[in-house]
Structure 1
Amino acid sequence: MPYLPSAALLVFGLVLLGLWSVRAVRGLGRTRTVLAAAKATFGDETGLLRARAAGLRVAVAQRKPSSRVAWAGRGETGGRS
């Protein structure tokens, strides 16, 4: 029975590998949860920033004097008769 210590060591190693794998999978689950929460928060903040930038563009566009001619002599049909 010289193979018995080797078999016992192999079983012990497999048990340790299984325990390590379970811990790693649990850690990955927590990591996914944290990453999802961070992604949602970042997306919300990015959306708010985009909305503010769009609002500023509209406000600046409204303050600039218009380069378009207010009345070009066309009728209500838009130039078509």
Structure 2
Amino acid sequence: MPSTPTLALIALGLVALVAIAVRVIRSLRRFASARTLVRDRVGDGVGLLKARSAALKVAFAARRHPEQARTRANPAYDRRGGGDRRITNG
């Protein structure tokens, strides 16, 4: 039968395709788990940097002269309206 070699080649091709697909899927799973781990660690590092930066801004604002305290580094400064939100007795 002349179609037997063709069917054998098709079956062999399908087996090879399934084997390659299984390896690719495994590699993608490992890559996804590594990507998640890296993203979490980088996110934690970025969060820590933001917190440290905010703490430094507060510390610098506390050390400034009251006339210089009306800057964007002062958390009491209203950035939207440009006014100071601190409550004064005057």
**Larger radius of gyration between Structure 1 and Structure 2:** 1
CA–CA separation in structure 2 for the residues paired with 1:57 and 1:25 = 47
Structure 2-normalised TM-score? 0.74
Unaligned runs of 5+ in 2: 71-87
Written as runs of structure 1 = structure 2, the 5 A alignment for 1:2-81 is 2-67=2-67, 72=90
Runs of 4+ in 1 over 4 A off after TM superposition: none
Q: CA shift at 1:71, angstroms? A: 5.2
* Larger RCO (CA within 8 A; separation ≥ 6): 2
How far did residue 50 of structure 1 move? 0.3
Q: Distance in 1 between the 2:62 and 2:17 partners?
A: 66
Task: Point out where structure 1 has 5 or more consecutive residues left out of the alignment.
Answer: 73-81
Give per-residue Cα distances to partners, 1:14-62, cap 9 Å, x unaligned: 0000000000000010001100100110011001000000011001100
- RMSD over aligned CA atoms reads 1.5
- Between the aligned partners of 1:9 and 1:48, the Cα distance in structure 2 is 58
Count how many residue pairs are aligned between Structure 1 and Structure 2.
Answer: 71
Tell me the TM-score normalised to structure 1 length: 0.82
- Mapped partners of 1:71, 1:4: distance in 2: 98
